[in-house]
Amino acid sequence: MLVRTYRIADKLGIVILKSSTALSQTLLEGTHMVVSAFRRGTFGTVGGLFAILSLIVRTVASFIRRVMLAIWSVLRLISGFILMVGGAITSLLVRGTGRVSGQVGQSAGSTAGSIMARRAARAEMDSGLAEDPLRVQNRLLSVLSVILLAGLIGVVLWATNPANTGSLSLPPNSGGSTINLFADTTATPSNAQPLLASPVPTVTPLPAVLEVRGSLAYVAREQAQTDIWAVGVGSRTPIRLTNDPADDRDPAWSPDGRKLAYASRRSGNWDIYVYDLVTGGTTQMTVDLGYQGAPQWSPDGLWLVYESYQGNNLDVYVMPVDFSQQPQRVTDNPAPDFSPSWSPDGRRIAFVSWRDGNQDIYLFTLDDPRDAAVINVTNTPTRQEDYPAWSPDGDVLAFSALDEGLEKIFVKQVDNLQAPAQVLSRGRQPAWSPDGASLVSAVDSLDSTQLIAEPFAESGVSTAIVQVPQGSSDPVWTGTPLPATLVNSGGLGPAVLESLYIEQLSPPNADGLYGLMSLPGVEVEGPYLNDRVNDSFDALRERVFEVAGWDFLGQLGDAWWDIDRPQQPGEDRYNWHKTGRAFAVNRNLIVGFPSPIEVVREDIGIDTYWRVYIRVVDDRQAGQLGEPLRRMPWDFVSRSQGDVEAYDQGGRLKTEIPTGYYVDFTQLAQDYGWLRVPAGLDWRANINAVNYWLFIKTDGLSWLNAMLDLYQVSQLGGLAPTAVPEPGTG
C-alpha cells in the first residue's frame, strides 16, 4: 500500500510540473506570435487583426486542452487511490470474518476468492481493450475547443459589425488598401484611411453645465424686426415661438416652464402677452396706450412684474395673471426704474434705476413697501449695470455691464452689500440655469452671437449652447423641455419677410466705373450717393419716417464730397464721403429742449462709439411709436459752458433722462447696412472728430476699392497708394 501511495504522489507531482511547463510554454508561444505580428506589421491591418485573434484562440484552446488532460489524470489517480483503500478495507473485513467463522470455510473461501480475482482481472482487461480513455478525453477536448473557437469568432464578428451602436466602425476601404488600426502613417499606404479617423457614432454626453437640460428662449432680429425663438438644451435646431410682423421681445418663462410672457407691438402699442406652449393660445395681459415691457414672473406663477411708462415716468408695476386686480405701481421715483426681477422667495424685486445719478441695481422689499426703503445693491458711479437675475436659491444677483470696453457678467452676494461684485465672464444679459450651477449669456463675435453657459457653482469650462444670429438677446432658461408637438411641428414656421431693399444698378461705363445717383428731396450740399448704395439709403429714409413720424433723413449734414475737397482739422484724409458711401445726419439736432436727437456714449474696446436716438414726433408721443429712453445721453453742449472737467472730457452725462418716446436710429441704420464710425482719438479736444453723425456702407470694401468704383487710379492723385520700389532697383 505504501508503494502505491508513493506512486500516486509521484504521478501527482509529475502532473503539476507538466501543467506548469505547459502554461509557461503557452504564454511564451502567444507572446512570440504577437511580437512577430508586430514586427511583420500585420497587427495594423484588418487581416492581421483576425490572424492574431485566431492565433490567440488556438493558443488558449491548446492550453485549456492541456489543463483538462492534467485534471483528468489527477482525477484518475485520486479514483485509483480511493479504490485501493476500499479494497484494502474490504480485504481486512473479509479476513476478520473468516477467522470468526473458523477453518471450515477457509478452503472454499480461498477457492472463491481466486475465482473472483480472476474474473475482476478479466473484466479490467476487457474494459481496457474495449476503449482507451485517452481517446475519449481527446474527443471531448476537441469538441470543447471547437465550441470555444466558434464562440470567440462570433464575438469578434459581432464587435466589428458597424451596425452595432457604439461599436468600432470601419470606414470604406477603396482600392484594397490596408486600414491601419492605430493610424500609423509611417506604415500605411498614402491612400489608406485610418480606422479611427471617422467619429464613432455614439451619443455625445452633454457637458456638466448643460446636464440640467431644459429649454432656452431668446430674441433674434432679422429684417429690422424681432421674434422670439427657443431651443432645447443639447439640441442645435431652434424653433420660432412668435411670428408676427410687429416686434416681439423680452421673453420670460413661467415657473413651470409651460408659459412664456413677453412684450410685443402687435396691437399697435407695447403691451404684455402670455403664450401657452402646450395649448398654443396667447393672452394679452395689458391694454394701454403707454409702453409696457420686460415682464417677469413671481415664483408662484400668479403675478407678473413689468416696466410701464405712465405720466412721463418709467416705473415698476405688478399685476395678477388672473386679472383679479388692477395693476399696482411698485416704485414711484422721478428717475426711470426698469428691468425688474422677482426673487425666488417672493419677497423682493430687483430693478435698475437712475435715482442716484448713475445706473445701478436696487432692491425693493414687500416687507417694507416704501420707495424710500429701496436699497442700492451695486452703487458703482463708474459702471452702469443692467439686466439683474436672481440665482435659484436667492443668494446671488447676476447682472451685466460695459466695463473697460467689454460687456461682462458680474455676480454679487445679496446679503453682503459691502462685498464688491465679482466678474464671472464676458457676455451680456445673464440668465441662471434651473439648478443654479451655471449662467447663460449672449457673447457677440464678428458675424454671429453665441449663447454661452458659464459654470458658477463648480469648476468647469464655458460651453456654447447654440450659435444664433448676430445681435440676438434676452436668453432665458427653464428646466422644462419644449412640448414634443411644438418641436415636431417646427414651431410657428418661417416668417414671411420681404427684402428691406433692392439695389437697382445701372450698367458701369466703358471704364467699369459706377456713377453717382441723386437723392431726391434731400437737403444737403452734394445730394448724391454711389449707385451701389443709394437704394438702401432711400429705404432707410422711408423706414425712419414710418417709425418716428417725421423725415429725419430729409435734411443731412453731408453726403457725397468731391475728390478735391480738403478735409477739416480732425477729419480723415481718406474720408468715406468721397466714395459716395457715407452720409452724415445734421449734427445741430442735438440742440434744443427737447432736442430732436439724443446721443448715448458707448466705449467698446479702445474705441468710443455713439448711439443715436430720434425723438418721435410730438403728436405721436402717446406710445404709438418708439419707446422711452433707459440710458443717459451725452451732453456735448456742456463742453462750452464753462465746465472745466466737461471741456477736458469732451462733455459729460446729462443730469436726467429726457422724457418721451424715441427710436434707436443706430439699430435701424445697421438693419439697412449702414454702420456707425468710431470717434477719432482726439475727439475730446476736436469736435470734428466726434463722428456721432457719420454712417457708412462699405459692403466689405476697403476705402481704396470703394474709390475705384467712381475713379480710375490716375484720377486719385495723391490719394492713390504710392508704389514701393523693390530692393535693388534704386
- The pTM score is 0.72
699: cell is 459692403
Q: Which residue has the higher pLDDT, 55 or 685?
A: 685
Task: Write 566-574 long-range contacts (CB < 8 A, 24+).
Answer: 568/688, 569/686, 569/688, 570/680, 570/682, 570/683, 570/686, 570/687, 570/688, 570/689, 571/688, 571/689, 572/680, 573/719, 574/703, 574/719
What average pLDDT does this structure show over 28-37?
47
Whole-number percent of the chain with pLDDT over 90: 62
By C-alpha distance, which of 535, 679, 672 is closest to 611? 679
Between CA 329 and CA 643 the distance in angstroms is 38
Least confident of 16-25, 211-220, 387-396, 648-657: 16-25
Beta bridge partners of 604: 607
Least confident of 225-234, 635-644, 714-723: 714-723
Assess whether pLDDT exceeds 80 at residue 532. Answer: yes
Residue 567: per-residue pLDDT: 83
Under CATH, which number does the domain 208-489 receive? Answer: 2.120.10.30
What is the per-residue burial (b if ≥16 Cβ within 10 Å, else e) of 688-715?
Answer: ebbbbbbbbbbeeeebeebbbbbbeeee
What average pLDDT does this structure show over 222-232?
95
Residue 152: per-residue pLDDT: 60
Terminal C-alpha separation, the chain: 118
Beta bridge partners of 696: 582, 675
Residue 546: per-residue pLDDT: 97
Backbone angles phi, psi at 48, to 5 degrees: -60, -40
Band of pLDDT at residue 25, cut at 50, 70 and 90: low
Residue 93: per-residue pLDDT: 43
> What DSSP string describes 352-393?
EE-TTSS-EEEEEETTS--GGG-EESS--TT--EEEEEE-TT
Write down the residue that cell numbers 471704364 correspond to. Answer: 511
Assess whether pLDDT exceeds 90 at residue 635. Answer: yes
Q: Is the dihedral of CA 58, 61, 65, 70 positive or negative?
A: positive
What average pLDDT does this structure show over 134-145?
58
Measured in residues, the chain has a length of 730
Between CA 548 and CA 114 the distance in angstroms is 132
Q: What is the mean pLDDT of the chain?
A: 81
Domain boundaries, the chain: 2-159, 208-489, 516-719
